[in-house]
């Protein structure tokens, strides 16, 4: 009999549902919330309300696109945390209600685990997956971590940000330049037309494998502030160069610690994940680093980099095979490491 998992993701500002049947992706529906654009960042209360509006149509559409009936589902996997509590409550409550209604098991998934396991999403049987152990550079709007992945459920954080995440550096600097939220994709696009050597911003000097991005953000802000005194249209005149130089600095910071982690662990497979791994500069820099160090890169499809339920469904699928189920009484959690 087939194992058919419905995944539900609602940790931040994307409402998503996906169906995975016997490890193969059948549907992945994502409703991104536009309501936050006007505010330059995610407004938690508005996110919760949008999830409430989206969740029924998104789940129905995922089931329809998978070509199944809800009665065919074997189990429901949902993101329990970390994330925005109000947003998580919507997905968690919906998953619990559906599991009671259909009388099928419930599986709680850690959002960060799911990002790492996105590399195991198969669109068909021929898709290849990473070998254990591998390193995963998890870079998103809320996290920047280097994770040693020994197995599906054995992960160790070797380094993490001590302040801002890489995505926050993109988004906050984008805001200074007047770009819409989220700024990462806009900087990515504009950077292709700019000179990455035009400006230099400060890089952190912290020991070990931890990251820091708040100094870069301040240095970016000071550069803009100082130059605007001379030229009030400094941003407009230098937009692609500012984007290219900022992106290059973020990539240098990310790869400096990643290559250190590769040398320290001797691991031969490196994966990237999270929203910032959609960045074209990050993707090609990681590929080049892996080529130079003669190791295998795992670069996810862009659809699986930002928040999506396919990664929740695949994480749930492996928990199902391992008989790991969750209790209806489990509350969502806002913050936790891997
Ligand atoms: O993983 P994700 O969807 O969720 C959260 O952490 O909430 O990551 C979102 C982050 C945002 O900071 C966004 O600006 C960034 O990923 N991002 C990018 C790109 N696409 C998304 N950053 C740089 N370049 C991109 N192409």
Phi-psi region of 301 (alpha: psi -120 to 50; beta: other; left: phi over 0): beta
Asked whether the predicted pLDDT for residue 338 surpasses 80, the reply is no
Beta pairing partners, 136: 147, 271
> Residue with the nearest Cα to atom 1 of ligand 1?
275
pLDDT band at 110 (very low <50, low <70, confident <90, very high): very high
In the reported structure, the alpha carbon of residue 98 is separated from the centroid of ligand 1 by a whole-number distance in angstroms of 30
Pocket residue to mutate for ligand 1, from 140, 213, 273, most atoms within 8 A of Cβ: 140
pLDDT tens per residue, range 258-312: 999 999 999 999 999 999 999 999 999 999 999 999 999 999 999 999 999 999 9
* Percent of residues, the chain, with pLDDT higher than 70: 99
- For the segment 148-183, what is each residue's pLDDT rounded down to a tens digit? 999 999 999 999 999 999 999 999 999 999 999 899
Residue 82 CB–ligand 1 contact under 6 Å: no
The atom number, within ligand 1, closest to the CA of 278 reads: 26
Residue 4, pLDDT score: 98
- Distance from residue 167's CA to the centre of ligand 1 (Å): 5
Q: Where are the alpha helices (DSSP H) in 103-165?
A: 111-117
**270 close to 130: Cβ distance less than 8 angstroms:** no
CA distance 264 to 279: 26
pTM of the model: 0.95
Handedness of CA 78, 122, 272, 157 (dihedral sign): positive
Tell me: pLDDT of 20 over 80. Answer: yes
Contacts of residue 266, defined as CB under 8 A and 6 or more positions apart, other chains included, come to none
Q: Over the stretch 73-106, which tens digit does the pLDDT of each residue have?
A: 999 999 999 999 999 999 999 999 999 999 999 9
Tell me, using a 6 A CB cutoff, whether residue 141 lines ligand 1: yes
Which atom of ligand 1 approaches the CA of 14 most closely? Answer: 3
- In this prediction, residue 337 carries a pLDDT of 64
Pairing of strands 154-160, 14-21: unpaired
21 to 11, 27, 108, 168, 310: CA distances (angstroms): 23, 10, 18, 35, 11
Look-up of token digits 């960045």:
279
Ligand 1 nearest-atom number relative to CA 274: 1
Diameter of the chain by CA atoms?
70
pLDDT at 336 over 80: no
How confident is the model at residue 142, as a pLDDT? 87
pLDDT over threshold 70, residue 251: yes
pLDDT value at 124 more than 90: yes
Cα–Cα distance measured from residue 133 to residue 150, given in angstroms and rounded to the nearest whole number: 4
Does the C-beta of 9 come closer than 6 Å to ligand 1? Answer: no
Q: What's the 144 CA to ligand 1 centre distance in angstroms? A: 11
Would you say the CB of residue 279 lies under 6 angstroms from ligand 1?
Answer: yes
Tell me which of 13, 145, 276, 279 to substitute to probe ligand 1's pocket, judged by most ligand atoms within 8 Å of the beta carbon: 276
Instruction: Grade residue 39 by pLDDT with cuts at 50, 70 and 90.
Output: confident
Query: How many angstroms is it from 29 CA to the middle of ligand 1?
Result: 18
Q: Does pLDDT of 113 surpass 80? A: yes
pLDDT band, residue 199 (cuts 50/70/90): very high
């Amino acid at each position: 009999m087939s194992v058919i998992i419905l995944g539900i993701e609602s940790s931040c500002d994307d409402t998503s549902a996906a169906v995975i049947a016997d490890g193969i992706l059948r549907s992945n529906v994502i409703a991104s919330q536009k309501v936050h654009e006007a505010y330059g960042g995610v407004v938690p209360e508005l996110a919760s309300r949008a999830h409430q509006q989206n969740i029924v149509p998104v789940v129905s559409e995922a089931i329809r696109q998978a070509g199944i009936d809800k009665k065919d589902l074997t189990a429901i996997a949902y993101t329990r945390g970390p994330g925005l509590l109000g947003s998580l409550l919507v997905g968690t409550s919906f998953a619990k209600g559906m599991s009671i209604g259909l009388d099928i098991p419930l599986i709680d998934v850690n959002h960060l685990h799911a990002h790492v396991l996105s590399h195991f999403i198969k669109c068909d049987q021929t898709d290849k997956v990473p070998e254990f152990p591998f390193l995963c550079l998890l870079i998103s709007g809320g996290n920047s971590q280097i994770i040693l992945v020994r197995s599906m459920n054995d992960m160790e954080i070797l380094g993490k940000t001590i302040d801002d995440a890489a995505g926050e550096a993109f988004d906050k600097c984008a805001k200074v330049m007047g770009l819409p939220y989220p700024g990462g994709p806009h900087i990515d696009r504009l950077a292709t037309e700019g000179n990455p050597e035009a400006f230099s911003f400060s890089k952190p000097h912290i020991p070990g494998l931890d990251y820091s991005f708040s100094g870069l953000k301040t240095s970016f802000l000071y550069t803009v502030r100082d130059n605007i005194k001379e030229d009030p249209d400094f941003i407009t005149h230098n937009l692609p160069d500012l984007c290219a130089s900022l992106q290059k600095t973020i990539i240098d910071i990310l790869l400096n610690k990643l290559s250190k982690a590769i040398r320290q662990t001797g691991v031969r497979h490196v994966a990237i994940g999270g929203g910032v791994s959609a960045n074209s500069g990050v993707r090609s820099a990681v590929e080049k680093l892996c080529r130079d160090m003669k190791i295998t890169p795992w670069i996810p499809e862009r659809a699986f980099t930002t928040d999506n339920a396919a990664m929740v469904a695949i994480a749930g699928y492996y928990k199902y095979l391992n008989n790991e189920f969750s209790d209806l009484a489990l509350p969502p959690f806002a913050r936790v490491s891997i």
